[in-house]
Amino acid sequence: MKICKIYEIEGVVQGVGFRPFVFSLAKKYNLKGFVFNSSSGVYIEAEGDEEVFESFEFELQNLTPPLAAIDTVNITQTSLKNFDDFKITKSVYSKVKNTSVSPDMSLCSECEKELKDKNNRRFGYPLINCTNCGPRYSIIRTVPYDRINSSMSWFKMCPKCEAEYNDPLNRRYHAQPISCPDCGPVVKFYDLKGSVTKENPIEKLAYAINEGKITALKGMGGFHIICDALNERAILRLREKKRRKSKPFAVLFASIEMIKEYCDITKEEEKALLSQIRPIVLVKKKKVCALSESIAPNINRIGVFLPYTPLHVLLLEILKKPLIATSANISGEPIITSKEKLVKKLGDVIEAYVDFNRDIINFSDDSVLQLVGKNSIFLRLSRGVAPKSFKTAYTCKESILALGAHQKSAIAIFNNANITMSPFIGDLESVESIEAFERSINTFKNFYDFTPSLLVCDKHPNYASTIWAKKQNIPIIFVQHHYAHILSVMFEHDIKEEVLGIAWDGTGLGDDKTIWGGEFFLCDLKRYKRVCSFKPFKLLGGEGSIENIDRIAFSILYAEKDNAHAAVFLNSFSDEQKYLLERSYEKDINAPLCSSVGRLFDAAAAIILKQKRVTYDGESGLNLEALYDKNVHERYAIVINKNNEIEYIYWFLGMLEDEPRVAASKFINTLAALMVHVAQKYRKKVVLGGGVFQNRTLLEKTIELFEKERIEFFLSENISPNDSGIALGQIIYALNNL
């Protein structure tokens, strides 16, 4: 008996070869009908013999193209239409836009083979792509994902590309960025005078890098600054010009074999590096290797990644050596996407660059990942991962825009039961960053015809995102920063019952108007109660102490100034410094109270390493990690007073007496043991959230102790534990408390 069925499919199903996949399946099972892209996803009507539909539906949902990701499939039976064939028809637009936008994806193996095949018409073509790889999010203005809605709309296909584009059985069927040397964007090499050379631009760039020059290369979602990773002088010049004293650089390698020459990597790290996401993965550098020490001063881990665009592949084929490949931006700002901004902002840094005339509409930086045991922890969600969408069971009628926090900004929206998170934006410290924040909001509005009816933001009144929210004529819900951290992890793991939430980070406004960051909550999806925290200390000089970390150590030890060891540390300051800090402490002048674990790491680094300042977020934690010795099992005393405050002064007095290796190890051991101590008191599932849990050594030790004590715990894996995940937690709060 013949029947007819309708399939309405939502998820990442556009621009990923889904329609030709359906077309081939329909031909296989002799089904008649049609398939098209809609504003909500993919719509199919298919009729044929009833007995084939079970197999058709299994393959439809389980054997999808590599980049496709189905969220929901709605199947209904309808009357027979007596179709005479199966066709792919034109996209149909509607008011409701639910389809998920695919992230940009790295070069696939088939395209790489063609790139290197001298007999292929795209041999050496630096912008080769197909439905299984290439740009998506970075070139799209709105959905459906059609060429007319992308930055490829200006490029008319040649007859050969058009034939591939219109052939349902071709790998490039409706591959929107399809092009070739005859009809596609043009790649050019520029010097800073704007001169363009007629020579091969990639060869010209390689020559400049070999000469020790600092260059830039346009990638998928923005420019990279590139130089020779084996050239110490070039790297030191880059640090000087970019005013980046010690923050690590990422290193781009030609192959996994080349990475293994310089780094010790695990099987899990190798798998992540080779995945089509092609993230930067933090791995252990070999003790003896040719990489410059200036790449990651004072630490034994570096961020490494493999080529993900044909431009990268072609460049490394010539150079055959590792390259520094760091985001082209001013520190804290979004990655630069145009040659005009590149020259304006970094003209005093770079000496040449390669560009192509396909516009980047939406910027996206490289995603960053680290493996901790069996756990994958994203430190930055961007290219290859974001935008990231979740289909939910929430039926809220509000269209919600969550604005995140202030640092490591990202936004999220709730619309038609879907939550969609943006790629990493940056710190909202500059006009450019705030403009990028607003562009990201407008991008999501354009994608989904989204008009927010409700805003959700952080409680901190001075965060740029909160200030922006207050300027809009839209209702606002304010969410406590650390509770949002925990809620994002609870949503990720579908936890609905009460948990012990441990939220440790660098900063965030507490309910008592002090700076929190070392919190233990009993909480569910609606409310939280602070049950334990670190005893507050004073940040002498306010935000200035976040860079001048020796002030934090001064503040903690000042109460013990009669202790001989503490006195030696306090007296290491100049008379003028000591006078000003004592006055700030005694008179409470610009000395806000703080309970942040991130700041405790800073204080520990100031004491153990004699480090006075940090130049980037997390530097003190990385430096202490580098000292950690697994053979040191001791820890400092855990004391919790009657106010449920953790007394840590004994730790810092102990640090003054212990040698650096022992002190750093005992400090990290103590933090891990403290979490176990509190968890055993409350006997709940434990949820970990906040930027401190990016510290690999602390997390490894914590997981080891939790597993030993059989404590069930959850942490961010698909969502970053840092402030990039805040927006998701804000939306979850709103959905459960409206």
State how far the Cα of 478 lies from the Cα of 457, in Å rounded to an integer.
Answer: 5
State how far the Cα of 394 lies from the Cα of 401, in Å rounded to an integer.
Answer: 15
What's the start-to-end Cα distance of the chain, in Å?
Answer: 50
Active site residues: 19, 37
How does 632-665 read in b/e, with b if 16+ C-beta sit within 10 Å?
A: beebbebebeeeebbebbebbbbbbebeeebbbb
Q: How many CA atoms lie within 13 A of 733 on its CB side?
A: 32
DSSP letter assigned to residue 149: G
State how far the Cα of 273 lies from the Cα of 255, in Å rounded to an integer.
Answer: 10
* Contact between residue 701 and residue 665 where contact means Cβ atoms under 8 Å apart: no
CA–CA distances in Å: residue 626 to residues 214, 300, 697: 29, 6, 9
E-only strand ranges, 584-680 = 593-594, 639-640, 645-647
**Residues for the chain: how many in total?**
738
| CA 703 centroid distance within chain | 22
Q: Residue 484's closest CA among 675, 728, 691?
A: 728
* Contact between residue 316 and residue 252 where contact means Cβ atoms under 8 Å apart: yes
DSSP letter assigned to residue 459: S
| SS3 per residue for 30-99 | CCEEEEEEECCEEEEEEEEEHHHHHHHHHHHHHCCCCCCEEEEEEEEEECCCCCCCEEECCCECCCCCCC
- Cβ within 8 Å of residue 724, ≥6 positions away: 380, 381, 404, 408, 409, 410, 424
| CA 422 centroid distance within chain | 10
The residue with tokens 């640092």 is: 407
